[in-house]
């Protein structure tokens, strides 16, 4: 099994009995000129990795907040190619994870995109509309690269499918905590804890919870259930409002003792 820097960053946090925190941000929301500045802010605030969304015209997995951020970025003329060029301008010490739909990557060209990821120190890819059965579109090009193709597992996945995806998982498992799109939510399924525990039992890589986690209280709750949390809409909103204290409070809420 390949070793990935992304996995190592999460396990490093877990090794001191803390849960990993991965914030999501929309590349180009506010202009590309703030992209690296915002990455540096998240890095200094204690993020363990950063998920960077690529704006897309048909973001089927995204809720209203992230859709609006993507629309603002597209209005600035932001593209995947421009984002990759911007990321290459600075070196960051934590793993970057690109979240993109498949179409922009195919338009970029898979070999060229993978090369660009290496040059930008991207250590993970999340592609929500790439089915598990078609992952070889990317895995063949990533064969000898330190770039993990991170799988998403939904609440409705069968036990057999979960085990199949978990066995081939790279980087971490993105455990989707709700049925539906991203966005701020007030509550979650009561059996979610059991679901996350089952994923951890069959996975060789860390299991991170994401979708709908938006308050310090929810961050703390999920920190006790998973190896880490991913926070998207709340981070995107905070950047748009220039509320940097809110972002810091979310990351600080994650620094709790995890269950053994």
Tell me the catalytic residues: 51, 62
| Contact between 182 and 66 (Cβ < 8 Å) | yes
- CA distance linking residue 67 with residue 82, whole number of Å: 19
Closest CA to 27 of 57, 1, 45, 53: 53
Please give the helix or strand (H or E) that residue 220 lies within, else none: helix 216-223
| Dihedral angle sign, alpha carbons of residues 22, 23, 29, 33 | negative
Which residue reads 């979610």 in tokens?
192
| Contacts for 42 with CB less than 8 Å, ≥ 6 apart | 23, 25, 50, 247, 251
């Amino acid at each position: 099994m390949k070793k990935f820097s992304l996995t190592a960053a999460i396990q490093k946090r877990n090794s001191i009995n803390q849960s990993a925190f991965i914030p999501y941000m929309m590349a180009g929301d506010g202009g590309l000129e703030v992209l690296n500045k915002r990455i540096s802010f998240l890095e200094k605030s204690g993020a363990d990795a950063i998920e960077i969304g690529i704006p897309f015209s048909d973001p089927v997995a995204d809720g209203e907040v992230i859709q609006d951020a993507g629309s603002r970025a597209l209005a600035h003329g932001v593209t995947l190619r421009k984002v990759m060029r911007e990321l290459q301008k600075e070196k960051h010490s934590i793993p970057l994870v690109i979240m993109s739909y498949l179409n922009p990557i195919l338009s970029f060209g898979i070999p060229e995109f993978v090369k660009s990821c290496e040059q930008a120190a991207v250590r993970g890819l999340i592609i929500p509309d790439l089915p598990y059965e078609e992952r070889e579109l990317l895995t063949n090009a990533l064969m000898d690269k330190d770039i993990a193709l991170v799988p998403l597992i939904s609440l409705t996945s069968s036990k057999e499918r979960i085990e199949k995806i978990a066995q081939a998982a790279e980087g971490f498992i993105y455990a989707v905590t709700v049925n539906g799109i991203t966005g701020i939510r007030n509550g979650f399924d009561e059996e979610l804890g059991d679901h996350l525990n089952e994923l951890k039992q069959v996975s060789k890589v860390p299991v991170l919870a994401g979708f709908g986690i938006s308050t310090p209280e929810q961050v703390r709750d999920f920190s006790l259930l998973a190896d880490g949390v991913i926070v998207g809409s709340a981070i995107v909103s905070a950047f748009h409002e220039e509320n940097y204290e809110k972002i810091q409070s979310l990351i600080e809420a994650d620094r709790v003792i995890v269950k053994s």
